[in-house]
């Protein structure tokens, strides 16, 4: 015998729930999610809350306590609720992951206990990384509170923190135990955060589903004026497409080279870094989408009419399609994207709305012209902002 071939298959299941007022005593969802197991009860549960959410939701910590008390046969609050800052600060400063791990240790959580994180994508990412590594994995329940986290990052299989100046450098692929999207948390979002998460919906529509793109076009005014039914539909459809892609890609933990869900993301990641994270992820993604769509048009892949629909929709949603850093040192972003992905460069482009395809090289000259085109569009926009259209900068 010269070698043993090992092959294992691992199945993961989780549900993404939609609700409002998750901590109302009359809402049995969180209790039911935990009680669905045949474990010994009560289960230990520890909460991590995004500081921004805590500030805007007076009495949240108290509501959590009351909820646990009300359901004490199933849920046992295992320690004080931890408040950590939101945004990239949560992922940049190693203190926060250390704080969460210490709290998990002190609470004596085991693999059948629950860490519940309530917040935007960054807080879910850092708490998710802690949950995935403590005891090699305690159960993680995500309660995303931003549009971006509810429709995209919070429903997927990744977690991470930043290190060595590289975004998401440390992390794992790990499925949550459950995701609970509580629409009520969206009410207190700033306009920037409300808008920002729509970029990922535009992205997934562009590469996967033209009818979803039509829907967003159709509801653009309702979405920007914060009409809830439209936003709830958008989030559900976006999350569904995102989940379906992960389940059907054949490579959910990205062992191969392709990451088709990352359309527009090579420039987006670099822009976040170049703006020192002053640009929100969704805002950067909107510019990245505009850039790669323009590149598709100038390269002859995408018809002009379709390209204009893309930039028009982004502008209609209130996104900028250009930022001065785009004319800066953006191209190293291609190699950083390749390195993070692994293997050769793979970039998703568009043949038409709803139909993505992959290329393995980028023509720098055409990309530079694409940036110029976006700069011009941006200048025209700034000169003539239509009444009622919101701008982010």
Q: Which stretch, 104-112, 141-149, 202-210, 319-327, contacts a copy of itself (CB under 8 A)?
A: 104-112
Cα distance between residue 152 and residue 141, in whole Å: 15
Neighbour tally for 3: CB within 10 Å: 5
CA distances from 55 to 119, 208, 215, 278 (A): 12, 37, 34, 21
Q: Is residue 10 classed exposed, middle or buried when 0-12, 13-18 and 19+ CB atoms within 10 A define those classes?
A: exposed
Residue 3 binds a copy of itself, judged by CB under 8 A = yes
Residue 42 binds a copy of itself, judged by CB under 8 A = no
Tell me which of 192, 219, 340, 390 binds a copy of itself, using CB under 8 A.
340
As measured in angstroms, the least distance from the Cβ of 7 to a copy of itself is 5
As measured in angstroms, the least distance from the Cβ of 44 to a copy of itself is 10
Locus of tokens 């088709």 = 260
Of 192 and 340, which has the nearer Cβ to a copy of itself?
340
Q: Which of residues 108-127 bind a copy of itself (CB under 8 A)?
A: 108, 110-113
Residue 114 and residue 138 in contact, taking contact as beta carbons nearer than 8 Å = yes
Residue 95 binds a copy of itself, judged by CB under 8 A = no
Q: 95 CB contacts (<8 Å, ≥6 apart)?
A: none
Residue 12 binds a copy of itself, judged by CB under 8 A = yes
DSSP H helical ranges for 197-250: 198-208, 210-218, 220-224, 228-248
Residue 270 binds a copy of itself, judged by CB under 8 A = no
Residue 318 and residue 390 in contact, taking contact as beta carbons nearer than 8 Å = yes
Residue 203 and residue 353 in contact, taking contact as beta carbons nearer than 8 Å = no
Letters for 234-253 (x = contact with a copy of itself by CB under 8 A, - = none) are --x--xx--x--xx----xx
Tell me which of 27, 66, 168, 184 binds a copy of itself, using CB under 8 A.
168
Of 243 and 303, which has the nearer Cβ to a copy of itself?
243
Tell me which of 136, 305, 383, 388 binds a copy of itself, using CB under 8 A.
136
Cα distance between residue 230 and residue 283, in whole Å: 20
Letters for 22-41 (x = contact with a copy of itself by CB under 8 A, - = none) are -----------------xx-
Size of the site for a copy of itself (CB under 8 A): 68
Of 188 and 240, which has the nearer Cβ to a copy of itself?
240
Tell me which of 62, 69, 342, 393 binds a copy of itself, using CB under 8 A.
342
Please compute Rg for the chain using Cα positions: 21
Tell me which of 76, 145, 150, 175 binds a copy of itself, using CB under 8 A.
175
């Amino acid at each position: 015998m010269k070698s043993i071939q090992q092959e294992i298959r691992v199945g993961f299941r989780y549900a993404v729930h939609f609700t409002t007022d998750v901590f109302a005593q009359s809402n049995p969802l969180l209790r039911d999610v935990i009680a669905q197991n045949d474990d010994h009860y009560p289960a230990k549960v520890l909460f991590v809350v995004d500081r921004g959410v805590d500030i805007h939701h007076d009495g949240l910590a108290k509501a959590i306590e009351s909820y646990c008390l009300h359901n004490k046969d199933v849920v046992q609050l295992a320690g004080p609720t931890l408040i950590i800052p939101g945004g990239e600060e949560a992922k940049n400063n190693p203190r926060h992951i250390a704080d969460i791990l210490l709290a998990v240790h002190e609470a004596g959580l085991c693999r059948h206990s629950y860490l519940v994180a309530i917040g935007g994508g960054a807080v879910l990412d850092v708490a998710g990384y802690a949950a995935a590594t403590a005891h090699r994995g305690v159960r993680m329940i995500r309660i995303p509170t931003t549009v971006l986290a509810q429709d995209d990052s919070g429903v997927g299989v990744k977690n991470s923190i930043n290190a060595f100046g590289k975004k998401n450098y440390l992390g794992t692929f790990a499925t949550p135990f459950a995701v609970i999207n509580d629409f009520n948390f969206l009410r207190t979002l700033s306009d920037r955060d409300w808008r920002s998460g729509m970029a990922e919906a535009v992205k997934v529509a562009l590469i996967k589903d033209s009818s979803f793109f039509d829907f967003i076009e159709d509801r653009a005014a309702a979405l920007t004026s914060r009409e809830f039914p439209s936003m709830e539909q958008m989030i559900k459809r976006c999350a569904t497409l995102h989940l379906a892609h992960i389940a059907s890609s054949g490579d959910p933990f990205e062992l191969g080279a392709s990451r088709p869900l990352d359309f527009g993301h090579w420039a987006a990641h670099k822009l976040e870094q170049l703006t020192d994270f002053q640009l929100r992820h969704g805002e950067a993604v909107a510019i990245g989408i505009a850039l790669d769509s323009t590149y598709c048009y100038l390269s002859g892949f995408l018809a002009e009419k379709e390209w204009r629909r893309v930039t028009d929709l982004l502008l209609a949603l209130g996104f900028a399609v250009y930022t001065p850093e785009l004319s800066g040192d953006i191209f190293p972003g291609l190699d950083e994207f390749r390195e993070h992905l692994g293997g050769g460069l793979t970039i998703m482009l568009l043949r038409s709305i709803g139909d993505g395809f992959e290329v393995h090289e980028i023509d720098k000259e055409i990309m530079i012209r694409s940036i110029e085109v976006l700069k011009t569009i941006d200048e025209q926009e700034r000169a003539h902002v239509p009444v009622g259209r919101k701008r982010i900068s």
